[in-house]
């Protein structure tokens, strides 16, 4: 699998070399929109496993090209209490007007109710920007009134949201770039990226951390406030090492209290994408493998004992749900139902997919971490209390 992993990473590096970034998909109609900047983390995993520093030296400048793409095309300045911070948002190329070619009918149909061509083109840009996130689609990107989500897919404004997970991933990527330059004995290059990573971590704390609720929230540029709803992305700063290591247990202790009060950990089939029932596939009741990995991984690596206990408990629920589903259908699904273990999820613009790459990957990740202590006995999990779903 080492050769396979290297080949997959090199495919992505080729795209960066050819067009300057990794598009949303490897087809021409995906040009103008990217996807979360995980290339640095992929390279770090490969180099850690192999010690292939010659390969790293060969490709480091290509990685830096991708990081600079984000710094030059996706940044936005937000002002908090008189201080200005630069962070990232999803922002598809607005020159590529019109519906998404891969979902032309859906976009065209949704846009028909909008009053004029300019507003329809804005809608198409917002839809494409949300698609960059991978969360297509979710109440994360819908308009709000106060703390209530009032929008729907035609009231999407993804470009006005500063996402916790995007910026955490990017902070981690900047740190990796510094580490790579350091191991290649380029101290000046390392310091450049480390300094930027440190800036990003501080900006995430100052813009997105809510000290009262004890959680990181997305920030809404339009209403100039946090979006106070649960999403598993709230654990991304711990997962992506976007906090100082010595601060992680403190953050985790507060995050655990928030998670327990949110009700998001109360479901037998995994952690839902939200507790908002919108009908979109990245909302309740769907539970997605990457989101399990982020929240479980963030809690586990925090160093806080109660967080680690909850992480293992959620990992057990998730593996059990995967096992039940596979036992019934002999398939692994792209998403599952948080309410009913083993049942596949639904919603979205297409039929549920099976296979499935990230489901298999997260299952292997959790089995590697917890495999010897996991059980299929339901009695090992504490009783599931009820939770209010909006």
Q: In this structure, are 287 and 207 located in the same domain?
A: no
Catalytic residue among 66, 122, 300, 334: 334
Q: Which of 229, 254, 288 is the last residue of a domain?
A: 229
We report the CATH number of the domain holding residue 140 as 1.50.10.10
Asked if the structure places residue 235 within a domain, the reply is no
Residue 93 tokens, joined:
């190329």
Residue 349 is among the residues annotated as catalytic for this protein = no
Residue ending a domain, choose from 229, 249, 271? 229
Q: In this structure, is residue 100 part of a structural domain?
A: yes
- The answer to whether 238 and 247 have CB atoms below 8 angstroms apart is no
Q: What is the pLDDT of residue 205?
A: 98
Does residue 258 lie in a domain region?
A: no
**Nearest Cα residue to 144 out of 134, 131, 158, 132:** 158
Number of domains the chain is built from: 2
Question: Is 334 a residue of the active site?
Answer: yes
State the pLDDT at residue 378. 59
Active-site position among 126, 132, 136, 241? 136
Stronger pLDDT, 216 or 371, i.e. the higher one: 216
Residues 6+ apart with CB under 8 A from 351: none
Residue 96, both tokens:
């590529």
Q: What is the pTM of this model?
A: 0.95
160-213 pLDDT, tens digit per residue, is 999 999 999 999 999 999 999 999 999 999 999 999 999 999 999 999 999 999
What is the residue range of 297's domain? Answer: 263-390
Q: What is the pLDDT of residues 73-126, one digit of tens each?
A: 999 999 999 999 999 999 999 888 899 999 999 999 999 999 999 999 999 999
The answer to whether residue 218 sits within a structural domain is yes
- The answer to whether residue 236 is domain-embedded is no
Chosen domain end from 229, 250, 274: 229
Q: Write down the pLDDT at residue 164.
A: 99
242 SS3 class: coil
Percentage of residues of the chain with pLDDT beyond 70: 96
Using CB atoms within 10 Å of the CB of residue 156, give its burial: 0 to 12 exposed, 13 to 18 middle, 19+ buried.
Answer: buried
Judgement on whether residues 1 and 143 belong to the same structural domain of the protein: yes
| Whether residue 356 sits in one domain with residue 278 | yes
The neighbour count for residue 145, using CB atoms within 10 Å, is 9
């Amino acid at each position: 699998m080492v050769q396979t992993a290297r080949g997959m990473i090199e495919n992505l590096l080729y795209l960066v070399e050819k067009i300057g970034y990794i598009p949303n998909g490897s087809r021409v109609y995906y040009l103008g929109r990217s996807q979360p900047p995980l290339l640095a983390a992929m390279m770090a995993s490969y180099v850690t496993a192999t010690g292939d520093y010659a390969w790293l030296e060969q490709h480091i400048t290509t990685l830096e090209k991708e990081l600079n793409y984000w710094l030059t095309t996706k940044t936005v300045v937000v002002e908090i209490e008189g201080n200005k911070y630069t962070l990232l948002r999803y922002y598809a190329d607005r020159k590529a007007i019109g519906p998404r070619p891969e979902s032309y009918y859906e976009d065209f149909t949704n846009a028909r109710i909008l009053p004029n061509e300019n507003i329809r083109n804005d809608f198409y840009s917002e839809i494409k920007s949300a698609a960059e996130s991978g969360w297509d689609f979710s109440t994360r990107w819908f308009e709000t009134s106060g703390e209530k989500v009032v929008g729907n897919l035609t009231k999407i404004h993804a470009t006005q949201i500063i996402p916790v997970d995007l910026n955490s991933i990017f902070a981690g990527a900047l740190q990796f770039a510094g580490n790579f330059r350091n191991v290649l004995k380029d101290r000046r290059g390392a310091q450049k990226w480390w300094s930027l990573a440190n800036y990003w971590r501080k900006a995430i704390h100052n813009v997105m951390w809510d000290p009262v609720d004890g959680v990181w929230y997305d920030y809404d540029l339009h209403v100039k406030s946090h979006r106070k709803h649960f999403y598993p992305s709230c654990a991304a700063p711990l997962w992506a090492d976007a906090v100082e290591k010595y601060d992680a247990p403190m953050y985790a202790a507060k995050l655990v209290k928030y998670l327990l009060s949110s009700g998001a950990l109360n479901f037998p089939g995994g952690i839902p994408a939200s507790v908002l029932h919108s009908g979109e596939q990245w909302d309740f009741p769907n539970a997605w493998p990457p989101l399990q990995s982020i929240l479980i991984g963030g809690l586990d690596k925090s160093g806080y004992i109660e967080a680690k206990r909850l992480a293992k408990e959620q990992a057990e629920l998730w593996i059990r749900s995967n096992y039940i589903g596979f036992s019934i259908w002999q398939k692994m699904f792209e998403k599952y139902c948080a309410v009913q273990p083993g049942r596949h999820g639904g919603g979205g613009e297409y039929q549920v997919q099976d296979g499935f790459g990230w489901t298999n990957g997260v299952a292997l990740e959790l089995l590697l971490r917890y495999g010897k202590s996991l059980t299929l006995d339901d009695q090992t999990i504490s009783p599931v209390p009820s939770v209010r779903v909006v």
